[in-house]
Structure 1
């Protein structure tokens, strides 16, 4: 009787083995579900990024506010009759501004 019980237990384990580790096994399914969740997360991040870029493109096409903002912050441009004030904190280097002396070739 003990031999039959051991044989049936061994058969049960052999039947269970493909269920856990086989091509369509539970471990593989769990791994695939994790990959799908990760892909969904990446897609959501990319959709948010695309929406932000689309909004920025729309602003650049339709309005002048975005163009003015970029000109001010990226190029350092100011309007006519406007005074530019820059506050530099202790230990902070001022942004590099290109001057004619800096671009001149050394003699």
Structure 2
């Protein structure tokens, strides 16, 4: 009876060692769990960015207004018979002098 108890105790100790220090142990599991959480956050940020890009694409495909707005803001284009006024503030003057 003592031999069986000793053998079972040895098996229990070996299993505990593998659980805490072996391959795929509890600390490995916790580290992977944290990595998955970080990756999910990164994925959520990318999903939000993609949604904004898709909305931008749909807006550009559907209407002329979005194309016109981009041309005005990014390229400085104006319509025919339209007057363009540029307002320069005091802050921008001081920045250009420096």
TM-score scaled by length of structure 2: 0.70
Partner residue, 1:27: 27
Query: Unaligned regions of 5+ residues in structure 2, if any?
Result: 1-11, 94-98
- 1:20–1:82 Cα change, 3 Å: same
Counterpart position of 1:81:
81
* Structure 1 gap segments, 5+ residues each: 1-11, 94-107
Helix, strand or coil at the partner of 1:85: coil
Listed one character per residue, the Cα deviations across residues 12-71 of structure 1 (whole Å, up to 9, x for unaligned) are 987654433322222111110011011111111111111111111111111111100111
Name the SS for the 2:90 alignment partner: coil
Runs of 4+ with >3 A deviation = 12-18
Q: Which has the higher helix share?
A: 2
How big is the alpha-carbon RMSD for the aligned residues of Structure 1 and Structure 2?
Answer: 2.2
Using the size of structure 1 for normalisation, the TM-score is 0.65
Aligned residues: 82
